[in-house]
Structure 1
Amino acid sequence: MTVELTTLAAIVAMAAATVLTRLSGLLLLRYVNFSPRSRRALDAIPPAVLMAVVAPTALATGPAESAACLVTALAAFRFPMLAAVALGVATVALLRFLGL
């Protein structure tokens, strides 16, 4: 297997751009004051992104996956994102175990 220098340089440059973008966003947000309304809007982004990722699974697979997507969506409104995803994974595992 050979590694082309241009390919490696492109991968490193994209990784650096990604890391710098994320870090700069975190650093800049320290100096910004948000209104309560803006804060609520920003807090709604993670569940919206999760639903955008999960929705195709709910519509294109079997009943176990669809039920797990519904559980994940409902849990995302109440629990932290990691807990909502873990609950969805546990739901699909249980429903598959039960043969649904």
Structure 2
Amino acid sequence: MIDMATLFTIVLMAGVTYLTRIGGYVVLRNRVLSPRATAVMEAAPGCVLISVIAPAFVSRNPADLAALAITLVAATRLSMLPTVLIGVGAAGLLRHFIG
């Protein structure tokens, strides 16, 4: 059974994530963005993904390095969502089997 503190933490994290996502729409709903601002907003998800996987570049864990290589190959061929799913799946499976 899941610990109540863990469940509470997960629910709060999900809520904060949702609020940050919806907050951007609420704040910017009546504004027209410049082409530069639009480009920044479109590049933001890629920047977040890079900040998440960047520590794997300096890892000595073979599972992390293999998952990073798989993710980089996927990123050259697929869109963002499949790349993220493949990267997370590869990391989970490789950490389970390789350690």
Output the TM-score relative to the length of structure 2: 0.55
After superposition, the Cα gap between the structure-2 partners of 1:59 and 1:41, relative to the gap in structure 1 and judged at 3 Å, is same
How many residues are treated as equivalent by the alignment? Answer: 84
Task: Point out where structure 1 has 5 or more consecutive residues left out of the alignment.
Answer: 1-10
Per-residue CA distance 1:18-58 (angstroms, 9 max, x = gap): 46555333212111211222211111111111111111123
Structure-1 residue corresponding to 2:57: 58
Task: Quote the Cα distance in structure 1 between the aligned partners of 2:96 and 2:23.
Answer: 42
Structure-2 residue corresponding to 1:6: none
Task: Point out where structure 2 has 5 or more consecutive residues left out of the alignment.
Answer: 1-8
Contact 2:57–2:68 (CA under 8 A) maintained in structure 1: yes
Could you tell me the percent identity over the aligned residues?
34
Q: Partner letter of residue 79 of structure 1?
A: S
**Bigger Rg over Cα:** 1
After superposition, the Cα gap between the structure-2 partners of 1:25 and 1:84, relative to the gap in structure 1 and judged at 3 Å, is same
Q: How large is the RMSD of aligned CA atoms in angstroms?
A: 3.7
Matches within 5 A, 1:5-20: 18=16
Task: Quote the Cα distance in structure 1 between the aligned partners of 2:57 and 2:44.
Answer: 20
